[in-house]
Amino acid sequence: QVQLVVSGGGLVQAGGSLRLSCAASGRTFSSYIMGWFRQAPGNEREFVAAIRWSGGNTYYADFVKGRFTISRDNAKSTVYLQMNSLKPEDTAVYSCAASPSYGLSWRPQETHEYAYWGQGTQVTVSS
């Protein structure tokens, strides 16, 4: 049974940092792409960042470039999202997801492109 367990959310002041974790289990994810999404109240779920488990290639949504970093620890089967310089508009429920990879040019950024989802964690940034 595939499980993606998310942790690390919380309340932080603007300009602060948080690190989210997504622990994966239940299958081999070496051929997968792991992504982070977020959903603010009243908004659609949006892509934040993703990393190719094998090779570590990363890509980001424009609004987090230079502030957020996605990484993975193969030994722990865990993907991280380091969030720095947080802004009130980053407030949302953050979720991780796994997408089967269909080649090196496959860069999924849509929710329907991801097969497995973890639960969300609330990130609240106060001004």
In which band, very low, low, confident or very high, does the pLDDT at 30 lie, cut at 50, 70 and 90?
confident
Q: Which two tokens stand for residue 5?
A: 């367990």
pLDDT greater than 90 at residue 98: yes
DSSP state of 104: T
Smallest CA-to-CA distance from 64 within 38, 44, 96 is with 38
CB 116 within 8 A of CB 98: yes
- Which one, of 17, 97, 93, 16, lies nearest residue 49 by Cα? 97
Mean pLDDT to the nearest integer, 93-122:
94
